[in-house]
Structures are given as structure tokens and as C-alpha cells.
């Protein structure tokens, strides 16, 4: 009986933690902007104490996948505030997904094969080697390097991402410089077919996976299986309903954390 009572108290305490965690206040300028990303408030509020609290709270709630933003690089064309904000929202969607138990469950239940030859203290893999899903999940959770987002000329592809060191085989504390992912200079990053969700954030995820040392070739490679899990959950009505409020709260994470990049357009 005592055990039942204790269990009940723990359960109620957990409920309280979860419900408190959802009460987050935003600067008015940010909250108002969420209905339409193209309506940009150019007087974007700088980080205040509240914003810093929000970022800290979100980092506590969603500790996995600490990909940081280094800079936006207008290599071949201007990147507007609206475009930058849209990309930052996509980074938030990716981080949120990797922190959900459903994503981890699906990754652990999926068999993936390497598309690269690589080795290090955590293993020696060849093209076609079976990958350990647990190790993949550890790599994703510990991912903490910076990404630069470029706007550049390209043809025939939706995006590009430079292939980084294979974090699958290397030690978890290995260091890596900022690597870039790039999106086409001819596209407006706010409006357009492939920019709709969940497609665009799945591409952002895909390119950062290249930075992480994963690749794809024919049926080999972890990238498409991971991208498909990602898309299937964002298309899953039950999943979306379950996380509706939490996701609404979290979507501002990158834009508040990196609000300084939203002060003006990035010009070549
Ligand atoms: Zn690719």
C-alpha cells in the first residue's frame, strides 16, 4: 500500500513538472509573429532576461542535439530576415524531433547500413556494414557542433551539405570546425513548394547528417532511413497532436537564442 501511495505521489509530481514546463512566456513581438513567418517585425526584440530564461529552460527540457548556428553566409545572394527566421524555425523542428521518445524508438527499430568506409575508436565500418542503431542515436544526441547556412548557386539539388568527420566511429568528445549546409540562391526560403513542412526541415536534417559524417549510396546509408522516420512522425496526426503545445513553445528556440542575426538582412 505504501508503495502504491509513493508511486502515486511520484506520478503527481511528474505531472506537475510537465505542466509547469509548458508555461513559457514570450516577448510579444515574437508571439505575434508566429501566425505568418512572412510578416516580419524588423524591430526584433533583443535577448532580455526573460529570453535567456526561455533558452535555458528549453535546453533543460530538450538536451539532445546541440547543433549551434555559426552564421548565415550570403555567398551568392542576399538572405533576408524572413528567410533566416524560417531556417531557424527548421533548426528548432529538428532539435525538437530528436528529443522525442518516438523518434528514438523508431531509430532503434530500424536496420541501417553504412555508405562510407571509416574507422576510429568506436568502430571500423565499411560500405554495406550493418550500423548499430543505438550508436547512431548516441551520435545524434551528442551532436554539438556548429553549422553555417549558405545561400549559393546550385543546380539539380534542393540543398547541399559538406561531409564531415564520421562521428559514428570517433570518440564522442572529438572536436569539429563549423561545417556548412547550403540552399539555392534562386529560391526564396520562405515561400515555395519544397519549403513547406515537413519537407524543408527534413532536408535541413539531411544536410546536417552529412556534416555528421553520414552519407547515402543506393540502399546504403543512414541518412534516408533517418529522414524518413523524421518525416513520418511529422506527418503523424497523433504525434503532432500529442506535442502540439510543446512544439509551439519550442519553435522559437533558435530565433531567440540567435536573435542578433535577425536584426538585418545578410548581404553579400
Ligand atoms: Zn544527401
Mean pLDDT per 10-residue interval, the chain, length 268 residues: 44 34 35 30 44 87 93 96 94 96 95 93 92 94 94 91 92 86 90 81 96 94 97 96 88 92 93
What's the gap in Å between 209 CA and the centre of ligand 1?
A: 8
Q: How far is the CA of 231 from the centre of ligand 1 (A)?
A: 15
How far, in Å, is the centroid of ligand 1 from the Cα of 228?
A: 13
CA of 58 to the centre of ligand 1 (A): 29
How far does the centroid of ligand 1 lie from the alpha carbon of residue 202, in Å? 11
Task: Give residue 246 CA to ligand 1 midpoint distance, Å.
Answer: 30
Distance 32 CA to ligand 1 centre (A): 35
pLDDT score at 49: 55
Q: What's the gap in Å between 30 CA and the centre of ligand 1?
A: 33
pLDDT at residue 40, rounded to an integer: 25
Give residue 80 CA to ligand 1 midpoint distance, Å: 25
* Dist. CA 200 → ligand 1 center (Å): 13
Predicted local confidence at residue 158, as pLDDT: 87
Query: How far away, in angstroms, is 216 Cα from ligand 1 center?
Result: 6
Task: Calculate how far, in angstroms, residue 7's C-alpha sits from the geometric centre of ligand 1.
Answer: 47
48 alpha carbon – ligand 1 mean position (Å): 38
Query: What confidence score (pLDDT) does residue 13 get?
Result: 38
Q: What is the pLDDT of residue 173?
A: 77
Q: Per-domain residue ranges for the chain? A: 2-262
**In sequence order, what DSSP letters do the residues of the chain get, joined into one string?**
-HHHHHHHHHHHHHHHHHHHHT-----HHHHHGGG-TTS--SSPPPP-HHHHHHHHHHHHH--S--PEEEEEE-SSS-B-HHHHHHHHHHHHHHHHHHTSHHHHHHHHT--EE-SS-EEETTEEE-TTPEE-HHHHHHHHHH---EEEEEEE--SS-S-EE-----TTTS-TT-----EEEEEETTS-SSSSGGGSTTHHHHHHHHHHHHHTT---BTTB-SHHHHHHHHHHHHT-HHHHHHTHHHHHHHTTHHHHHTGGGGSS-B--
- Report how far ligand 1's centroid is from the alpha carbon of 164 (Å): 12
- pLDDT at 114 (0 to 100): 95
Amino acid at each position: 500500500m505504501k508503495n502504491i501511495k509513493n508511486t502515486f505521489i511520484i506520478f503527481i509530481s511528474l505531472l506537475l513538472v510537465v505542466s509547469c514546463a509548458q508555461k513559457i512566456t514570450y516577448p510579444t513581438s515574437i508571439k505575434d509573429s508566429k501566425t505568418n513567418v512572412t510578416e516580419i517585425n524588423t524591430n526584433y526584440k533583443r535577448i532580455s532576461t526573460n529570453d535567456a530564461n526561455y533558452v535555458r529552460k528549453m535546453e533543460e527540457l530538450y538536451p539532445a542535439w546541440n547543433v549551434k548556428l555559426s552564421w548565415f553566409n550570403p555567398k551568392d545572394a542576399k538572405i533576408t530576415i524572413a528567410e533566416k527566421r524560417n531556417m531557424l524555425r527548421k533548426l528548432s523542428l529538428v532539435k525538437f524531433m530528436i528529443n522525442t521518445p518516438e523518434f528514438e524508438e523508431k531509430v532503434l527499430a530500424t536496420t541501417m547500413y553504412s555508405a562510407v568506409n571509416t574507422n576510429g575508436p568506436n568502430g571500423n565500418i565499411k560500405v554495406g556494414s550493418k550500423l548499430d542503431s543505438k550508436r547512431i542515436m548516441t551520435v545524434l544526441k551528442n551532436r554539438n557542433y556548429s553549422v553555417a547556412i549558405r545561400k549559393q548557386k546550385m543546380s539539380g539539388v534542393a540543398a547541399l551539405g559538406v561531409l564531415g568527420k564520421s562521428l559514428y566511429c570517433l570518440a564522442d568528445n572529438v572536436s569539429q570546425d563549423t561545417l556548412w549546409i547550403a540552399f539555392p540562391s534562386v529560391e526564396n526560403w520562405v515561400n515555395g513548394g519544397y519549403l513547406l513542412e515537413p519537407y524543408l526541415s527534413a532536408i535541413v536534417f539531411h544536410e546536417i547528417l552529412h556534416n555528421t559524417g553520414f552519407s547515402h549510396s543506393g540502399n546504403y546509408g543512414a541518412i534516408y532511413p533517418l529522414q524518413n522516420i523524421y518525416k513520418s512522425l511529422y506527418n503523424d496526426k497523433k504525434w503532432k497532436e500529442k506535442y502540439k503545445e510543446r512544439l509551439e513553445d519550442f519553435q522559437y528556440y533558435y530565433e531567440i537564442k540567435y536573435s542578433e542575426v535577425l536584426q538585418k538582412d545578410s548581404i553579400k
